């Protein structure tokens, strides 16, 4: 069993990947639409953990925007527990 088997159960299978990489004038709406897909996803926790572990910098993963992922990554670094994000 691969550590990436969870991807086979992703709610975003079949969804245009561009929907998860917002840019331009409607970026906020795009991010919110992507998050709605993630909110129905049975493997959102695995997806978020993977994105944090691999340093994914762009896109919506695990129901989090790239800014939220950055904050989560900072908080998960050793020695930063409980500290506010800069």
Q: Residue written as tokens 């975003």? A: 12
Residue 13, classed as helix, strand or coil, is: coil
CB of 83 to ligand SF4, least distance (A): 26
CB of 53 to ligand SF4, least distance (A): 13
> Which residues are at the interface with ligand SF4 (CB under 6 A)?
10-12, 20, 37-38, 41, 43-44, 47, 61-63
Which residues, in sequence order, are CB contacts of 8 under 8 Å at separation 6+? none
Is 47 part of any known ligand binding site? yes
How far is the C-alpha of 83 from the C-alpha of 65, rounded, in Å? 20
> Could you tell me which residues are annotated as the binding site for [4Fe-4S] cluster?
12, 38, 41, 47
């Amino acid at each position: 069993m691969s550590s990436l088997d969870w991807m086979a159960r992703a709610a975003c299978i079949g969804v245009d990947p561009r929907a998860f990489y917002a840019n331009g004038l409607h970026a906020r709406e795009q991010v919110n639409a992507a998050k709605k897909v993630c909110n129905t996803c049975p493997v959102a926790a695995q997806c978020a953990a993977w994105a944090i572990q691999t340093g994914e910098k762009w896109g919506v993963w695990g129901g989090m925007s790239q800014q939220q992922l950055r904050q989560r990554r900072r908080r998960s670094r050793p020695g930063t527990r409980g500290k506010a994000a800069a």
